[in-house]
Structure 1
């Protein structure tokens, strides 16, 4: 019996080690729904005028009367307000691209109003820009949002066929308005799906930056191409973001690209330790320093505030995070929340951490 005792001890140790290891490996890498207790609106959050979970709009990132009004009119079948809004925006390329995207999303659902616009004004460059982006949206809807292994051959066939058609629409839009960068931005998303070679992407990028060197929407779109999940790598994406941010004047929002690139290349992007490194803190500080110079009507400003608040909560900089949450509350259709199964619950969870931590 004394000889068997060490063997029994080892056997018991192995049993418990294996059981604990099995439990650890069965645990999901990150949770996708927030605990119910933290989803309720606390008294402190209510006193600050923050909205409850069921009043968070998970589809939009901001309310913009000009852009929203044009899209809502299009959804009702009227093209004239869309055309008027495009004319009013003129060569404000950042807002023009945002309006093109909003109208194109509506046209991808129902394009009778856009067809009527094209018939009433043949050769209208504004309608052509919307048509080009709507065809890109239509292609991505045909593909669906699943990973490649969960996407059927029929979906891929339709996806590539419509993207090739989109290239024709993009070429026409460029011909009709050579100085407008928005059709080229649409081409970035066509290239994401068609797998444009790096050499072509560099040529396309030169066309965009010649027209609008600090165009945030274009930079964000190109960053997606250079991410590891598409046609680049973590190093390429971070290098692209660093070069864009370091060479930009104040008020362009381009420092936000560093945060996006960092978030996109984490195996477990919701673990706080990834955001408490000196590098991650410097990214947040650079974006904080840029925000005062950003125009208030910049269409991507709220999205930058969302990811900044996410970083700041993980860095336990709760008062600074709360300031961002108060400026974006109510519209949360943004990174990082849309990566969660229940975006509103997770957003409110992080917001509450900021509320309580800032007390």
Structure 2
């Protein structure tokens, strides 16, 4: 009997091994399903939820904006009057004003004949001046390109710095024409980032902005980029800036999301999971989720924050909460972190599918 015991043990092991393989084959392979989802379009679960396939994702925008689309269509035809009217009636809605200026300035950086016509027809128009200042900065950054400094040529840098220096005159003029508007000063953050403003000069610029709009999300996001290690600061300075902004912010400002931005910006491998599952990171996400219900649904940066929160929630395996965010932004994937890594729509859909399968 003792001689047979090893054979009996081997036979039992083989029996259970075959049975486990048979059960595994009968179970759906969730990992394979998630990996295959982008290539096949949509999983059955995603389709049942009404989610859109990869090819239907707008990778230029984080949200639909029919108003801005209409304005850009008008200026593309040379008609500047709708843009002038829109900015004139926007009033002190600084967030919406900044978003419109950014969208119009982006168009002007490609072709500015319509903006020149506006300036000619209405000399001294502060709204045209604000668009001009931002478009000059956009033009400078386009001359530089999006590559790291070591992959950027000398001529690119020379053109970049030359146009950025010129932008300071445009910014000063826009600020003089409309002293209450924070937009020109927010534009100057990107001039200062490119020209290397010292910290003290950025503090002075920041005081001008917060005196006019103390909880402006676009302004805070832009300043946070300056304080990041990849530009003019460090991880410690960036996270300190984000923490102070979030701690003193009123409900509905979106500013708690700055903590997530600062954390994400300082990861050597941004898609790695571990750094997003700490108790500190979970508390950061909870703070943003608590803030979202108070954010006006028309806030121009709301969708961007939802995209970032969805990414964090998937990494934290909080799939049902992530799916809720994906359902609110689906159809527009042009936001961080998806837009940073090659195929924007593919990465967005891959993370979305993880939320769909995890929630189900």
Specify if TM > 0.5. yes
Q: Residue 216 of structure 2 aligns with which residue?
A: 215
**Counterpart in the other structure of 2:206:** 205
Cα pair distance change 1:36/1:358, threshold 3 Å:
closer
Instruction: Measure, in 1, the Cα distance between the counterparts of 2:114 and 2:142.
Output: 20
CA distance in 1, matches of 2:155, 2:36: 40
**1:218-229 equivalences in 2 (<5 Å):** 218-229=219-230
Deviation at 1:165, TM superposition (A): 0.7
Once the two structures are superposed, what CA deviation does each residue of 1:3-23 show, in whole Å capped at 9, x if it has no partner? xxxxxxxxxxxxxxxxxxxxx
Q: Distance in 2 between matches of 1:92 and 1:153?
A: 40
Distance 2:95 2:267 in 1: 29
Quick check: 2:38–2:54 contact (8 Å CA) kept in 1? no
Check if 1:296 corresponds to 2:317.
no
CA distance in 1, matches of 2:252, 2:77: 36
Distance 2:211 2:88 in 1: 22
1:100 aligned residue: 101
Residues 37 and 43 in structure 2, CA contact (< 8 A), matched pair in contact too: no
- Structure-2 separation of matches of 1:326 and 1:320: 10
Asked if the contact 1:86–1:126 (Cα under 8 Å) also holds between the matched residues in 2, the reply is: yes
Q: How many residues align?
A: 326
Deviation per CA, 1:286-329: give whole Å up to 9, x if none: 00000000000000000000000000001110000000000001
Q: Is the 8 A contact 1:67 1:85 kept in 2?
A: no
Conserved 8 A contact 2:254-2:292: yes
Please give the secondary structure, in 1, of the residue aligned with 2:232. coil
State the match for 1:316 in structure 2: 317
Structure 1 position 99, deviation (Å): 0.4
- What are the equivalent positions in structure 2 for 1:128-167 lying under 5 Å apart? 128-167=129-168
Q: Once superposed, what is the RMSD of the aligned Cα atoms?
A: 1.0
Aligned residue in 1 for 2:123:
122
Match of 2:344 in 1: 343
Aligned to 1:20: none
Q: Could you say which residue in structure 2 is the equivalent of 1:55?
A: 56
> For residue 3 of structure 1, what is the aligned residue in structure 2?
none
Normalising by structure 1, we get a TM-score of 0.89
- Measure the CA separation in 1 of the matches of 2:60 and 2:85: 25
Indicate if the aligned counterparts of 2:37 and 2:353 stay in contact, CA closer than 8 A.
Answer: no
- Structure 1 position 339, deviation (Å): 1.2
Compare CA radii of gyration and give the structure with the larger one.
2
The structural deviation recorded for 1:68 is: 2.2
> 1:53-76, CA deviations, whole angstroms, 9 ceiling, x for partnerless residues?
011111111112222221221122
Verify the 8 A CA contact 1:66 1:85 in the aligned structure 2: no
Distance 1:35 1:234 in 2: 33
Match of 1:176 in 2: 177
Matches of 2:36 and 2:100, distance apart in 1: 37
> Does residue 232 in structure 1 map to residue 259 in structure 2?
no
CA distance in 2, matches of 1:54, 1:307: 21
Asked if the contact 1:54–1:344 (Cα under 8 Å) also holds between the matched residues in 2, the reply is yes
Unaligned runs of 5+ in 2: 1-33
1:113 is matched with 114
Secondary structure of the structure 2 residue equivalent to 1:156: helix
Distance, in Å, in 2 between the alignment partners of 1:182 and 1:344 is 31
CA shift at 1:37, angstroms? Answer: 4.3
Q: Distance in 2 between matches of 1:91 and 1:37?
A: 45
- Does structure 2 retain, via aligned residues, the 8 Å contact 1:216–1:253? yes
Q: Counterparts of 1:119 and 1:72 in 2: how far apart (Å)?
A: 21
State the Cα distance separating 1:36 from its structure 2 match: 5.0
Name which of structure 1's ranges 304-313 and 72-81 shifts more when overlaid on structure 2.
72-81
C-alpha distance in structure 2 between counterparts of 1:224 and 1:63, whole Å? 25
Q: CA deviation at 1:204?
A: 0.3
Q: Which residue of 1 aligns with 2:333?
A: 332
- Partner Cα distance (1:97, 1:353) in 2: 34
Partner residue, 2:19: none
Q: What is aligned with 2:8?
A: none
After superposition, give the CA deviation of every residue in 1:224-280 in whole Å (9 maximum; x if it has no partner). Answer: 000000000000000000000000010000001000000000111101111100011
Task: Output the CA distance in 2 between the equivalents of 1:304 and 1:329.
Answer: 13
